[in-house]
Amino acid sequence: MSAFDGYADYYELFYKEKDYASEAGYALSHLRCHGSRGTNLLELGCGTGSHAEHFARLGHAVHGVDLSPNMLKAAESKKTVMSQELRARLNFTQGDIRTIRLEKRFDAVVSLFHVFSYQTTNDDLSAAVATAAAHLADGGILLFDFWYGPAVIRQLPEVRVQRFEDKDVRLTRIAEPVVHVDKNIVDVNYELLIERKPDGKLETIRETHSMRYLFIPEIELLLARHGMELIGSHAWMKTTAPGFDSWNACAVARRS
């Protein structure tokens, strides 16, 4: 089972408190700050389309790509309750961000919620950056967030237990991390304990999400390989540079 195969069914419940609107606004503020004036966006790893929806509400046309059919099913379902104008700004395609080619250029490419950190090998990372470069117009901007290496090493991930509930299920999510220091990877081993309220049925799902933490010099090297230049790096949801307390960070690059 690959990451998100079973997890996707409960994704919306896990992240119902996540402030997608503020995150979308934050990403767009950096695009504008670094000179992006267009409104045509490609989102790599769009998930259930929550960021895409808010990009569209802010006036952008968004083409979202995701590998998971279950995630995209949820994204398409959200469109059914939107206005016709809003639906017209949203398009979703199933595909692998390492290989997909839409034969179209965009003003900006965004990739949020650590999608680039899911690219755990050098080849995978390079391929994801190549996809972004292939879809950017000249001077176009790439923005992606990631696990910031110095903070991960300083803080080290810990076991976390979280509980969630809605009218249908009670969930306990246990995350047990294993750090592979020689590979800059954290394997996050998830165990989901599911109780279905109508009949009391119990189910357990286990998935491993492997995450690569990144460092600015390697990001610069990857970008340069594909004709892009790093023009900004920030602690996530802040304007300051990432530091030892910034587990989440974002990078902004421009295509030559």
Give dist(CA 175, CA 169) in Å, integer: 19
5 pLDDT tier (thresholds 50, 70, 90): low
Q: 108 has which bridge partners?
A: 41, 141
The arithmetic mean of pLDDT across residues 119-142, rounded, is 98
Higher pLDDT, 35 or 50: 50
CA 64, 69, 74, 78 dihedral sign is: positive
Find out whether 206 and 190 touch, Cβ atoms under 8 Å: yes
Query: C-alpha angle 132/25/84, rounded to 5°?
Result: 85
Residue 144, both tokens = 């992606």
Please say if the pLDDT value at position 7 is more than 80: no
What does the mean pLDDT of the chain come to? Answer: 95
Helices 69-79, 50-57: inter-axial angle, 10-degree rounding: 30
Q: Which residue segments constitute the domains of the chain, with CATH numbers given?
A: 7-150+213-255 (3.40.50.150), 152-211 (2.20.130.10)
pLDDT in tens, 53-109: 999 999 999 999 999 999 999 999 999 999 999 999 999 999 999 999 999 999 999
pLDDT for res 44 = 98
Q: What is the CA radius of gyration of the chain?
A: 18
Find out whether 196 and 169 touch, Cβ atoms under 8 Å: yes
Q: 246 has which bridge partners?
A: none
The arithmetic mean of pLDDT across residues 219-228, rounded, is 98
pLDDT for res 1 = 40
pLDDT in tens, 132-183: 999 999 999 999 999 999 999 999 999 999 999 999 999 999 999 999 999 9
pTM of the model: 0.95
